[in-house]
Structure 1
Amino acid sequence: MQLIITTGKNQHYNQSKTTMNKYILLIALSISLFSCKENSTNLKKKLPKIAIAGIAIESSTFSPAKSHIEAFHPVTGEVIFNSYPFFSKDSVNRNRADWYPTLRGRSLPGGITTREAYEEMVEKTLKMLKENLPYDGLFFDIHGAMSVVGVDDPEGDFIQRIREIIGNETLISTSMDLHGNVSERLAHHSDLITCYRMAPHEDALESKKRAVDNLLERLESGKGKPKYKAWIPVPILLPGEKTSTRIEPGKSLYAKVDPLTKKEGVVDAAIWIGYAWADEPRNHAAIVVTGDDKNEVSESAEYLAKSMWDVRNQFDFVAPTTNYKQAISKAIKSDKKPFMISDMGDNPTAGGAGDVTWTISELLKNKALINSNKQLIYASIPGPNFVAKAIEIGVGGTINEVAGALVDNRYAPPVRLNGTITAIKHGDKHAETEVVVKVGNISVIVTKKRKPYHRKSDFTNLNLDPNNADIVVVKIGYLVPELYDMRGDWIMALTPGGVDQDLDRLGHKSIKRPMFPIDANMKDPNLSTRFIPLSHQQKNY
């Protein structure tokens, strides 16, 4: 641009000056817009790139049942966000990173997972991870008690295969159930790791969010991997029904976790009870603490390990327990409604096959119950052939057909149910179809596929009123909150099945020994810190 100034021609000068100012303003505006666009681009580039993956199941190796691919209801891509309220479109966390969800498979607890199902889900996950490499982080959402045919440590195997794809620099934050198992391999490949602090698991979503929050904070701050991981295996193997955080000593033990995470130099701390109904070397309790201060991390881990070992003899069932005969006798005599009985041995929420007929067979021939006229609801027994026959007959018709014991017939054969069909309901995610048949004063829920009954609506949807029933028998161990709040009274029956509460009767062969309480008089173990190498440091398993 050329500026011409003519002496004595102020008008021409002023016009030229105005033109020049306009040009300067336009240039400045263009630079500003370019700068904003560039800053916006840079801001977007700074968002961490995080993948999501996970397979979750609790698998009993003492049940003849097997878990196939359909049990996991695997979903891929954006649908995964629906499982996490903290990933809703308007959530803060959703906007703190660029997310790449791969595969999420989550099954009801059950029998050992087939190798085919495991490989199909793992290979699909790995393929999807390859599509968007590289990643800054990965949210690894697992249970931790998956057993797979021919694989000793499935979660350890899975995360190691993920590392082979994404590399060792990507931060992995692992979220687990406190009934999961933390092998040394899983701890090595996890940079951050946490688990629930409540049983029943009322803090499940809170714990998963904590795993995500920790991951985001370490990436955004540039701190990266915590410098230290303290792992202490604790030789205790107990069922969840003896380690509930509703009662002591579990309540006070788990209350010690959160204060440790507030210490300078500690990122997170966790106690795993472990899973008692699988027989692998990794099945035992464990402590893991992560952080940047070596002394604080070590001291915190040893404090939790010692605290757990010190109270090992205090763990007991969360509710009164007895054998079946005494449980039903007490229920018949009680005037409290509903009197709830946990049929524990075949509990599908712990990995039981769910179709053991022993308890329902005993109930149907119990003369004291029949003569009492007490109204009892039994939930539930799978019987696909029974359900198909009931659909043919319809509500109001009479059915005489067998159900149950197609998978686990070790304790009793299929049970014959001769009664009136009072309800048929289709569309349940797990059961698919549910049928209620009334046999005398007993209403039996028969399902196409096994299903645990956790909520009042599970009953009311079938025109059953659990609040006004005299007795409700459920295939569950400790009652989940909704049933717990509904109970008039409650007892846990020590019944047979793949998740038998008598661990001695199960006969573990592959766990590390000695193990409390199987080896009740064992010597005090070494509970000193074992520092696990960081994921980028060499470690062979």
Structure 2
Amino acid sequence: MKTPARLFFLPLAFSLLASALPAADAPRIAVMQLRHETVTFLPIETTREDFVYPGSPAAGEDLLQTEPKGDMGGFVKVAREYGAELVGIESPGMPRTGIGSGWVTRDAYEHFVGRMIAELKAQGPFDGVYLAMHGAMAVRGIARPEAELARRVREVVGEKAFLAGTFDPHGNEDEAFLEHADFAFAYKYYPHYDGHLQGERAARMLVRAIRGDYRPTHAVRTVPILSATVYQWTGQPPWSTLVQRCLTWEAREPDVFVNFFYGFPWADVPDSGMCFQVITNDNAELAKTVADDL
């Protein structure tokens, strides 16, 4: 009897299915977000209630499906291509007041971060953590809220886990976040059309670090310059020149990543201003060289 042709494809189908399943040693990664671009000169504060609306907070797959064309979408896509198990930790979205509202209250920050940290403890252990952030959040009584979140996450997951974050280049950042995290990836362009790419990078490098293929080393340089956001378009100098210099270093040296934070001048915070961050693979001297050049 002649065997139907379709039966010959069954072994191949089962083989492909097996290869698509996560391996037993697939990395387990927690996914969180905390974003706001705070204008501290506005009189109305951003409260806990402003972060609560349909779709926010979100957890599990609902969180992983936010911003599918942005950094979150890029991270989820590539992490799953690597077979990673992703755990969406309940996190708030951007407040309904929009990207330009006043100081975030301490109550709002402690409420949501407290819930995030509690769930991180309950769902652990994790090999890595991904933090989707903006970088220009300003919180009453907390000088560097993104770095403080990374510090609290590190306390939970321990020193062996790896932390990666993605940022808007209008963030006010310095060395504080990378004192607790391993990676930071900021969008390079304004308008911000490369968020998906930076999310992809965060996933790829987080998995490489977990596998022992990348040992992140950092160098950070802050520059005492504040510039108006209306002049930060990356389609013309001087911003296009600075972005191109970052890209040149990334193209010239394998495994080098450069963040250029333009800064957000509408926030009266300690780290307001321009910043360059350089990440290399176990090469502190190269990181210093690139940072000094920029």
Global fold match (TM > 0.5): yes
For normalisation by structure 2, the TM-score amounts to: 0.82
Residues 149 and 239 of structure 1: CA distance in aligned 2, closer, same or farther (over 3 Å): same
- Indicate which of 254, 257, 261 corresponds to 1:272: 261
Aligned to 1:181: 172
Q: Is 1:143 matched up with 2:143?
A: no
Aligned to 2:195: 204
Residues in 2 aligned to 1:286 and 1:179: alpha-carbon distance in whole angstroms: 10
Contact 2:221–2:292 (Cα < 8 Å) also in 1: yes
- Indicate which of 76, 93, 106 corresponds to 2:79: 93
Aligned to 1:44: 23
SS of the aligned residue for 2:117 comes to: helix
Residues in 2 aligned to 1:283 and 1:295: alpha-carbon distance in whole angstroms: 27
Counterparts of 1:514-533 in structure 2, within 5 Å, are none
Read off the aligned partner of 1:290 and give its amino acid letter: I
SS of the aligned residue for 1:66 comes to: coil
Higher normalized contact order (CA 8 Å, seq sep 6+, divided by chain length): 2
SS of the aligned residue for 2:118 comes to: helix
Residues 92 and 195 of structure 1: CA distance in aligned 2, closer, same or farther (over 3 Å): closer
Deviations 1:184-243 (A, max 9, x none): 3212112011101111112222222222222123324x22431x2001111111121112
Residues in 1 aligned to 2:264 and 2:273: alpha-carbon distance in whole angstroms: 7
SS of the aligned residue for 2:24 comes to: helix
Q: Is 1:223 matched up with 2:238?
A: no
Residues 212 and 43 of structure 1: CA distance in aligned 2, closer, same or farther (over 3 Å): closer
Residues in 2 aligned to 1:47 and 1:237: alpha-carbon distance in whole angstroms: 44
Read off the aligned partner of 2:48 and give its amino acid letter: I
Residues in 1 aligned to 2:73 and 2:38: alpha-carbon distance in whole angstroms: 28
Counterparts of 1:211-250 in structure 2, within 5 Å, are 211-220=202-211, 222-226=212-216, 228-250=217-239
Q: What's the offset of the Cα at 1:244?
A: 1.3
SS of the aligned residue for 1:274 comes to: coil
Q: What's the offset of the Cα at 1:59?
A: 0.6
Residues 283 and 92 of structure 1: CA distance in aligned 2, closer, same or farther (over 3 Å): closer
Aligned to 2:35: 56
Contact 1:261–1:268 (Cα < 8 Å) also in 2: yes
RMSD of the alignment, in Å?
Answer: 2.3
Contact 1:49–1:136 (Cα < 8 Å) also in 2: yes
SS of the aligned residue for 1:270 comes to: strand
Deviations 1:346-405 (A, max 9, x none): xxxxxxxxxxxxxxxxxxxxxxxxxxxxxxxxxxxxxxxxxxxxxxxxxxxxxxxxxxxx
Q: Percent identical across equivalent pairs?
A: 29
Read off the aligned partner of 1:209 and give its amino acid letter: E
* Unaligned 5+ runs, structure 2: 1-14
For normalisation by structure 1, the TM-score amounts to: 0.46
Q: Is 1:69 matched up with 2:48?
A: yes
Q: What's the offset of the Cα at 1:267?
A: 3.2
Aligned to 1:257: 246
SS of the aligned residue for 1:298 comes to: helix
Contact 1:175–1:194 (Cα < 8 Å) also in 2: yes
- Indicate which of 103, 112, 121 corresponds to 2:90: 103
Counterparts of 1:333-344 in structure 2, within 5 Å, are none
Residues 266 and 229 of structure 1: CA distance in aligned 2, closer, same or farther (over 3 Å): same
Deviations 1:21-46 (A, max 9, x none): xxxxxxxxxxxxxxx9xx99x97221
Aligned to 2:9: none
Residues in 1 aligned to 2:278 and 2:255: alpha-carbon distance in whole angstroms: 7
Contact 1:66–1:114 (Cα < 8 Å) also in 2: yes
Deviations 1:410-430 (A, max 9, x none): xxxxxxxxxxxxxxxxxxxxx
Read off the aligned partner of 1:171 and give its amino acid letter: F
SS of the aligned residue for 1:230 comes to: strand
Residues in 2 aligned to 1:91 and 1:266: alpha-carbon distance in whole angstroms: 21
Counterparts of 1:487-502 in structure 2, within 5 Å, are none
